[in-house]
Amino acid sequence: MRSSRASLLATSVFVCNLLFATPARSAVLIHTNDILGELEPCGCRSNPKGGLARHYTLIKRTENTAGAGAVLQLDGGDLFFASATTAPMLVKQAKVQAEFIAKALDLTGLDAAVPGEKDFSLGLSVFENLLDGHKFKFLAANLVRKNSKNFLEPYAFFSKKSEKTAPLRIAVLGLVGEELSWPKELQVLPAIKTAEKWVPELRKKADFIIVLSHLGFEKDQELAKKVKGIDLIVGSHSQSFLQEPVKLSGASLIQASFKNQYVGVLSLTAPLSENDLGNYKLIGLDSGFDSEPGKPNPIDSLVVDFKKAIAELSTKQDAELGITTTATPQITFQTFPRCVDCHRKQADFWRKTPHFKALKSLVDKKQARNKDCLLCHSLGLGELNGFSDVNKIGALKPDPETPLTSPSSAPSLSLSPEQLSEALDKGAFKTLENAWAPVQCENCHGPSGNHPFGANAYSKKVEKAKCLSCHTPDRATEWYDKTSLQEKVFTEKLKRMTCPPGDPTEEP
């Protein structure tokens, strides 16, 4: 008779052997959605989460524990661009940005994505060119070409396994929302009917069925209720923050907020167990995922190249056009030096607010030539007479009709971001201030032609909408409860930014 201990040992050896004889099937799913063209978080929030460089670190750490062959990476779409339409001024830059995102996705090893309507911001052909030569696929079963030529594959199979397990055969079906707008060359078919057609077919060949959805959370729920046989719906579009999977009629729904701030990680076994679902994690990409100083990962290096590329593009574009756009060339802008003499009290107040250093913040981030950032961090960007080039130390373009005295005669510099930053720290601002154009008087009160002369009077009252055009929910998170403005917080912020009363020409 063996001792009970020995028999226990024997049993566990037996169980282990059994496991090796018919190994379990398992994999790890990593999913994102609504990246919106964000390669690196803008830094508008304190301790910002996100960025593809940190995403890369997460992938590598997961591969180190689960095995590289076990990781399935999916994205729910709206990857490349911030919005469904792109302002003419930003088109070229947006294209370069999207190309860098595509390069980064090859580095992270994305397996598949479904297109979102924003991915067509620059049109169908730009989208198709973006996929060219890359390793990831875009899937969409219900988005087809009107001219019956092939567009994207409807689904794909992936075989994923760790060292110790048998391959898990995963079918991924792409579906998009019917009521969203798609390029005119494409036609969208009913999502539920399309799923009803494909799911039973895929079931025969796969251990596991994932719908990669750009429908939004509400429609995902309808899909789960109406179509049987789906294991998992990886969602997007509604930018829902689902801390744990939502179970509905046998399917589990997951979605990971937006902009790569959170990434969902789920161990997959077939069939999906309560244990897998219970261990689902939405991981916040905070500074814990930063590369060690001096040891940039491949995406950190890509971000450096990206910033250089758009700075060069911006210089080239401005030179080509002479101006950034001709949208409304009648507007004239006046910078703060023009106000100081008559409104000293207000000017001195403003100089102590964060708006005063809004351009310096971009210089420090090496993003002072990124037009996407400048829109909120400077004055009059894109207008004939507006801010154009940080290296001309923010000179507002001279207005050909009304020659301005100080701003247009400002010196122009040619400094690297480092030199510029240093110069500003040393007080260059004081001598060159007449040309520098951070967020200032006219962002709130103007623009208003040639005040104090002429008909266009400045408005003293600053409309709330003006503040909120820059202080959006994603840039000024603490102002909002999700997307609704917290009035109390706003009142307090407005108070902090309200110029003191005082008559013109009154001494402080």
Told to check if 501 binds ligand HEC by CB under 6 A, we report yes
**According to CB under 6 A, which residues from 306 to 335 bind ligand HEC?**
334
- Looking at beta carbons only, is 226 or 466 nearer to ligand HEC? 466
- Looking at beta carbons only, is 197 or 493 nearer to ligand HEC? 493
Among 42, 104, 112, 303, binds ligand HEC (CB under 6 A): 42
Among 286, 312, 341, 418, binds ligand HEC (CB under 6 A): 341
Please choose, from the candidates 305, 215, 301, 297, the residue with its C-alpha nearest in 3D space to the C-alpha of residue 34: 215
Strand ranges (E), 373-452: 387-389, 395-396
- Residue 269 phi, psi (nearest 5): -125, 155
Cα–Cα distance between 367 and 377 in angstroms, integer? 11
R_g over Cα of the chain: 27
| DSSP percent split of the chain into helix, strand, coil, nearest 5 | 40, 15, 45
- Looking at beta carbons only, is 143 or 441 nearer to ligand HEC? 441
Contact 146, 53 (CB under 8 A): no
CB of 191 to ligand HEC, least distance (A): 32
Cα–Cα distance between 260 and 173 in angstroms, integer? 22
Token pair in block for residue 24: 């379990």
**According to CB under 6 A, which residues from 417 to 476 bind ligand HEC?**
439-445, 451-452, 457-458, 460-462, 466-467, 469-472, 475-476
Sequence-distant (≥ 6) Cβ neighbours of residue 305 within 8 angstroms: 100
Among 130-138, 253-261, 344-352, 425-433, which window interacts with ligand HEC (CB under 6 A)? 344-352
Sequence-distant (≥ 6) Cβ neighbours of residue 463 within 8 angstroms: none
**According to CB under 6 A, which residues from 349 to 368 bind ligand HEC?**
350, 354-355, 357-358, 361-362, 365, 367
- Looking at beta carbons only, is 247 or 475 nearer to ligand HEC? 475
Among 119, 372, 383, 433, binds ligand HEC (CB under 6 A): 372
Please choose, from the candidates 79, 187, 184, 209, the residue with its C-alpha nearest in 3D space to the C-alpha of residue 142: 187
Among 73-81, 201-209, 279-287, 488-496, which window interacts with ligand HEC (CB under 6 A)? 488-496
Residues that bind ligand HEC (CB under 6 A): 42-44, 334, 336, 338-339, 341-343, 346-347, 350, 354-355, 357-358, 361-362, 365, 367, 370, 372-373, 375-377, 439-445, 451-452, 457-458, 460-462, 466-467, 469-472, 475-476, 478, 493-494, 496-499, 501-502, 504
